């Protein structure tokens, strides 16, 4: 068995340069050459996981199949590679310190003074190598969150320094920096990159490859200058220029020969390595970029001021639109500002509506207004998680006549996923006391819309919620046309509802957006967008 290769992606100058996209793009290129690849994210924040973070703080909380609440970059990894991630793919400073403190309390360190080096760095290295030690992957690509120079990132950079010596040729560092364009001087400036690389060197790490984020093409002369000042071969200095879609990045990095340089530096013979097969990826990008007609989809939610809060939903809609030969025209509508008085004005030009997930009562009335409008005007509508709950409540109120129908829980505008608190509060919750996380099985009713969409009876989808449909009302719902078309048989929970006689009106208790990828877009989103474009 060949040794696993470890690649680290660090960032400098500024945050939000796209380390996750570069890491995922490199992973895709290596995968397309036949290698087994996984991506990992190291997050410097002290939260144990992002499950308790306000979406405005950190964007979407992504959920893996094994029920781990993770950074949204894991969504990029799965969408690009089509490979499921797990708890080991996302590590936080909080979890590292928690593990070390637990070991100290158990006496694992035999009375030694517990320090950053070696105890914290050893724990970081153990978590990094955990994926590679199984022998399942040829490459583990680890993105280090934050920016070089941040105090929070220091233990991670130190761990990389140590691993560089321990792993030798099996370790490689890709450093992503920014080359700004000064309009007044009409030129690109490399000094920020030089300082970033110097900061990395001061911490004992020399980058092997530099990826320069830029809005303008970087000339060979500038690349030569960067190589000279940063101790990097000129062939290993490459640009990542702004593009209309993140899905163009792997193709651009292939043109920059990123995968070739990586393989060469890690001892591979390119003549004996298959070329990257990017045909299906290229076809998707062409569909995405060449589509002329638009499909107008509205996401109605309470966190729309930060689109990253609904990142996986947005990307799933992009996938589905491209496969339906349409360009997505996305409208983000704040549910707090939506009412029955203004809903027609805001939604009359919309082709399809997604009622988004979210916790707490805030913004629910706006969701009810959107759902009633979609239901009564035959507009395709997809309700996800809380979206399905509001679908159920709106139907109970306005069709079945239960004016006081509602969906209740403790207020998570301040508490998002504290399972022990959920358990303590169980008696006051109408819809179940704790969070359901990860993949659960669902059996589809034959003859239903969703059965036709999936093309099979048994599916598995990821959850992140604490809601349940009240089965006492199931028969009454179905008699009036709202069919419970998906059930978790083991726990007798309703997973999917759909309205008969409507063009497309489906609510799901799970999060289908978590498993939509570029090569395999989710069938629910494909069907939803198809219905939205049909006149």
Q: How many CB atoms lie within 10 A of CB 496?
A: 29
Let me know: does 246 contact 289? Beta carbons within 8 Å. Answer: no
Best CA proximity match to 269, nearest among 37, 38, 39, 33: 33
Cα 147 to the center of its chain, rounded Å:
20
Listed in sequence order, the residues at least 6 apart from 287 whose beta carbon sits closer than 8 Å to its beta carbon are 322, 323, 325
CB 304 within 8 Å of CB 334: yes
Contacts of 421 by beta carbon, 8 Å cutoff, 6+ apart:
410, 415
For 433, the token pair is 């006391």
Task: Find the catalytic residue in 68, 76, 319, 511.
Answer: 511
Given the residues 230, 385, 442, 484, select the one marked as catalytic: 385
Tell me whether residue 513 is one of the annotated catalytic residues: yes
Annotated catalytic residue: which of 394, 484, 513, 522?
513
Count other Cβ atoms within 10 Å, centred on residue 288.
22
Enter the tokens of residue 447: 């003859």
> Which residue, 231, 242, 251, 262, is CA-closest to 17?
242
Our answer to whether residue 58 is catalytic in this structure is: no
Number of residues that make up the chain: 535
Can you tell me the distance from the alpha carbon of 303 to that of 464, in angstroms, rounded to the nearest whole number? 17
**Long-range Cβ contacts of 370-378 (<8 Å, 24+ apart):** 370/298, 370/300, 370/333, 370/335, 370/338, 370/343, 372/340, 372/343, 372/398, 373/343, 373/344, 373/347, 374/347, 374/505, 375/499, 375/502, 375/505, 378/502, 378/503
Do 437 and 71 contact (CB within 8 A), yes or no?
no
| Catalytic (active site) residue 286 | no
Q: Which residues are catalytic?
A: 385, 511, 513
């Amino acid at each position: 068995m060949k040794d696993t290769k470890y690649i680290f992606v660090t960032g400098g100058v500024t945050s939000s340069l796209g380390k996750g996209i570069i890491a995922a793009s490199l992973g895709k290129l290596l995968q397309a050459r036949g290698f087994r690849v996984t991506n990992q994210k190291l997050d410097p924040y002290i939260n144990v996981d992002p499950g308790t973070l306000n979406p405005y703080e950190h964007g979407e909380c992504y959920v893996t199949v094994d029920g781990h609440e993770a950074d949204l970059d894991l969504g990029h990894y799965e969408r690009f590679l089509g490979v499921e991630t797990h708890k080991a793919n996302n590590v936080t400073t909080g979890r590292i310190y928690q593990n070390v403190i637990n070991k100290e309390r158990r006496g694992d360190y035999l009375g030694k003074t517990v320090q950053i080096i070696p105890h914290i760095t050893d724990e970081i290295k153990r978590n990094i190598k955990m994926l590679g030690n199984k022998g399942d992957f040829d490459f583990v690509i680890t993105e280090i969150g934050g920016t070089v120079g941040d105090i929070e990132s220091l233990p991670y950079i130190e761990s990389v320094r140590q691993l560089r010596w321990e792993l030798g040729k099996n370790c490689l560092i890709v450093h992503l920096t920014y080359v700004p364009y000064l309009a007044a001087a009409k030129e690109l400036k490399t000094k920020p990159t030089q300082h970033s690389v110097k900061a990395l060197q001061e911490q004992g790490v020399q980058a092997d490859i530099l990826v320069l984020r830029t809005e303008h093409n970087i000339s060979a002369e500038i690349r030569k200058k960067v190589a000279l000042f940063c101790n990097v071969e000129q062939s290993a200095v490459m640009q990542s220029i702004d593009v209309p879609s993140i899905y163009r990045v792997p193709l651009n990095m292939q043109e920059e020969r990123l995968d070739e340089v990586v393989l060469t530096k890690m001892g591979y013979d390119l003549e004996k390595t298959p070329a990257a097969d990017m045909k299906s990826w290229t076809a998707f990008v062409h569909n995405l970029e060449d589509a002329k007609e638009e499909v107008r989809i509205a996401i109605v939610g309470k966190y729309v001021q930060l689109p990253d809060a609904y990142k996986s939903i947005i990307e799933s809609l992009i996938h589905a639109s491209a496969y339906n030969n349409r360009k997505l025209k996305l409208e983000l509508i704040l549910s707090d500002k939506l009412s029955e008085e203004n809903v027609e004005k805001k939604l009359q030009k919309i082709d399809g509506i997604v009622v988004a997930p979210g916790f707490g009562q805030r913004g629910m009335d706006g969701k009810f207004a959107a759902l009633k409008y979609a239901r009564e005007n035959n507009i395709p509508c997809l309700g996800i998680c809380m979206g399905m709950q509001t679908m159920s409540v709106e139907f109970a109120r306005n069709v079945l006549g239960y004016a006081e129908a509602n969906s209740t829980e403790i207020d998570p505008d301040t508490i998002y996923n504290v399972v022990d608190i959920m358990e303590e509060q169980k008696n006051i919750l109408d819809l179940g006391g704790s969070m359901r996380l990860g993949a659960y099985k669902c059996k589809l009713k034959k003859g239903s819309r969703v059965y036709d969409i999936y093309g099979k009876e048994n599916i598995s989808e990821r959850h992140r919620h604490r809601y349940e449909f009240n089965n006492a009302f199931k028969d009454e719902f179905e008699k009036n046309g709202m069919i419970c078309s998906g059930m978790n048989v083991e726990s007798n929970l309703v997973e999917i509802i759909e309205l008969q006689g409507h063009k497309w009106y489906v609510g799901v208790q799970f999060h289908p957006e978590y498993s939509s990828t570029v090569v395999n877009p989710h069938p629910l989103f494909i069907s939803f967008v198809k219905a939205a474009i049909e006149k």
